[in-house]
A and B are shown apart, each in its own frame.
Chain A
């Protein structure tokens, strides 16, 4: 069976009666309706939005000038103590790569 035989003698149905009038009426309504302005156009045409925009920019600029900067940034992490903890050192010590450890076959000491 080739492609021709699959669809031979059949066809998709036409649009139902009444849909033409309904669709075209809705389209005519949309055609005569004023196009909805985008967000930037609404912002430019709104006095309140322009004032809010200007106030927020002025506030940001004033804050940038008036708020003092701190003298130096605080340390991000607490400084480590000068002497490492003995237990942590023992945990971190890897016997296999420790050149001073003895082989396990010679008594199991490491």
Chain B
């Protein structure tokens, strides 16, 4: 899926998931060096998903680390994975949900707002736009933020988003549409 972030995310293309096939096969045979290849291909999407879903940088770091531990622990099933990218994002989604449940059991901790997007470079106008977009994104429910990221940043189809998040494709599309409509309202006055 082509989109506005193609120029900003060099590794964003439709074949990134298929590119994970070789390192998945290598990991299944116990090749630890393939972990680095998986990181290079997927870390940005995984961290973005974790950050947008949990809303906290600390939780996002834990989620990404958890994803790679789960990846190594479940190496026996990697060779049979049909869509490595979708499988990896689904693991990240589950880890993020687990992290949010753990956080819910610690209600005394203050909730800090993460910077969901950043502006490449030091252009003041772009930096200000990134701050406004982050503020708007922070007002969305986590599942809507996640749907937007998976569709517009990770390039997933609605069917794939449904498989990742465990909802029907129609629900995934609805979440994305509602999120974008709200973002447009929130940003409409300033951008």
User: Does the CB pair A31–B75 fall under 8 Å?
Assistant: yes
Closest to A24 in B: B35
Q: Is the interface of B mostly helix, strand, loop or mixed?
A: helix
A74 within 8 A of B: no
Q: Taking A10-B118, A12-B47, A12-B118 as contacts, is the C-beta distance between A31 and B191 under 8 angstroms?
A: no
User: Does the CB pair A9–B149 fall under 8 Å?
Assistant: no
B41 within 8 A of A: no
Which bracket fits the contact residues of A? 20 to 34
User: Does the CB pair B69–A30 fall under 8 Å?
Assistant: yes
User: Does the CB pair A30–B72 fall under 8 Å?
Assistant: yes
- Which residues of chain B in 6-27 are interfacial with respect to chain A, using CB atoms and an 8 Å cutoff? 8-9, 27
Which 4 pairs of residues, A with B, have the shortest CB-CB distance? A12-B48, A11-B8, A30-B72, A27-B68
B residues in contact (CB < 8 Å) with A: 3-5, 8-9, 27, 30, 32, 35-36, 39, 43-44, 46-48, 51-52, 57, 61, 64-65, 67-69, 71-73, 75-76, 115-120, 126, 129-130, 133, 149, 152-153, 180, 183-184, 187-188, 191
Supply 8 A–B pairs (Cβ within 8 Å), ascending by A.
A10-B8, A10-B129, A10-B130, A12-B51, A15-B61, A24-B36, A24-B39, A32-B32
